[in-house]
Amino acid sequence: MKNPIKDKYYKKNKKKLGIKSKAYYQKNKKKCKAMCRAHYLKNREGNIKNYRNNYLKRTFNMSLGDYDKLLKNQNGLCAICGQPETQKIKNKIKSLAIDHNEETGVIRSLLCMSCNIGLGMFRENIDILKNAINYLIKHSIQKGERNGKELFNM
């Protein structure tokens, strides 16, 4: 809770307090660093959630709760391949990527890293994706099943 008397005092004496604080830090560097480290480790999980929530708000205008709802609606699976994320960073599985329309910013759904990169590599162009599907069908081992016919006529 904010204390208006303290706030007024700090505002009035900001420069003097800053100099005093710097001097204390210089004199007690090891102690200050140890305290900061202990505080960071104690609050690490909360800090990570706060960072993630702020990132989502800033980048996609959504909260961590919104992300969790989307994840739950997709059963924790990629909207394209239906698989869970397998990519790791620092030995921890990544979160599913938030897929959005680059022009409008509208969020579509969550994708695994592979599918998200795949869409980007095809420049989110439906015609290029259709051509890629037809190419795969044309050169697939299961060619006999489709008789070499194109799935998409263009």
Tell me, yes or no, whether 128 lies in a domain. yes
Q: What is the pLDDT at residue 9?
A: 86
For the entire predicted model, the pTM comes to 0.67
Q: 80-90 in b/e burial notation, b at 16+ Cβ within 10 A? A: beeeebeeeee
| Number of domains making up the chain | 1
In a domain, residue 131? The reply is: yes
Q: What are phi and psi of 42, to 5 degrees?
A: -65, -40
Residue 79 forms part of a structural domain:
no
Tens digits of residue pLDDT in 2-58: 777 778 888 888 898 889 999 999 999 999 999 999 998 888 888 888 999 999 999
Residue 30 lies in a domain: no
Q: What is the pLDDT of residues 136-146, one digit of tens each?
A: 998 886 655 55
Is the Cβ–Cβ distance between 87 and 113 less than 8 Å?
yes
Angle at 63 between CA 1 and CA 90, to 5 degrees: 100
User: 154: domain range?
Assistant: 123-154
- Average pLDDT of the residues of the chain: 88
Taken as a whole, the chain contains a residue count of 154
Answer yes or no: is 143 within a domain. Answer: yes
